[in-house]
Amino acid sequence: MTLFQLTVVAFMMALPAFAQDAAPDEPLPPATTEQLPPGGQAPVDQIPAISDVAPDGGAPDATAMKMACHFKTQCVDTKCTETSFAGKLTIISDGAGMAEAQWDDDKESLALSAQQEGAVTMAFSTGDDPVGQQILTIAANGEARFTFHKTDPISSTSYLGTCEASK
């Protein structure tokens, strides 16, 4: 190795020593804390959602819809009988087609994931229940099917009826 190369290597190794703070005893600037306004009073709270100011009117960011469902026919596998099963479905949509839903009837409250395309809704249970799965389908005309699939013993129970927006 030449003397020049050794000098360059020694200089490069010494650079971190030269990069130290020149004034280690100098006090740091004072820390400041900012008091935040109460909820709803921050300037950002006054900015409307993008869809609320979209030139084409935009779709709302999120919507909530409640539906009353009434089922008149119950089919266990292939045997059907009359029934009076009813419940309420609440759907909270993100405005882009995906939604969360809540089914409430006399026996249970059930969390569902939902997908909406226009006036058609399909909701399904999200739990890790190894015994079964629930699926609710609502057509644009309000016709509805609510099916419970069970694994032990394997069977299905379907309810046929209608769902309509409730007030």
pLDDT-derived band at 91 (thresholds 50, 70, 90) equals: confident
Domain count within the chain: 2
pLDDT in tens, 34-58: 676 676 665 555 555 544 444 455 5
How far is it, in rounded angstroms, from Cα 167 to Cα 163?
Answer: 13
| 153 preceded by a cis bond (ω within 30 of 0) | yes
pLDDT in tens, 106-149: 988 888 888 888 788 888 887 666 778 899 999 999 999 999 99
Residue 67, CA distances (Å) to 49, 92, 125 in order: 26, 12, 17
pTM of the full structure: 0.59
Please name every residue paired with 104 in a beta bridge, in sequence order, or none if there are none: 88, 109
Average pLDDT, stretch 81-103? 85
pLDDT in tens, 61-90: 567 888 999 999 999 998 999 999 999 998
Quote the domain boundaries for residue 21. 3-52
Query: Is 69 in the same domain as 39?
Result: no
Burial of 71 (0-12, 13-18, 19+ CB in 10 A): buried
Mean pLDDT (the chain, rounded): 78
Closest to 132 measured CA to CA, from 149, 114, 119 = 149
**Structure letter (DSSP) for residue 45:** G
Q: Give residue 69's pLDDT.
A: 95
Query: Is 67 in the same domain as 130?
Result: yes
Query: Is 78 in the same domain as 147?
Result: yes
47 alpha-carbon distance from chain centroid: 23
Q: Give residue 70's pLDDT.
A: 95
Query: Is 36 in the same domain as 112?
Result: no
**Higher-confidence residue: 74 or 15?**
74
Gyration radius (Cα) of the chain, Å? 31
For residue 28, give both structure tokens.
């740091």
Q: Give residue 51's pLDDT.
A: 46
Query: Is 81 in the same domain as 147?
Result: yes
pLDDT of residue 154 exceeding 70, the answer is yes
Query: Is 38 in the same domain as 81?
Result: no
Q: Give residue 30's pLDDT.
A: 75
How far is it, in rounded angstroms, from Cα 82 to Cα 16?
Answer: 85
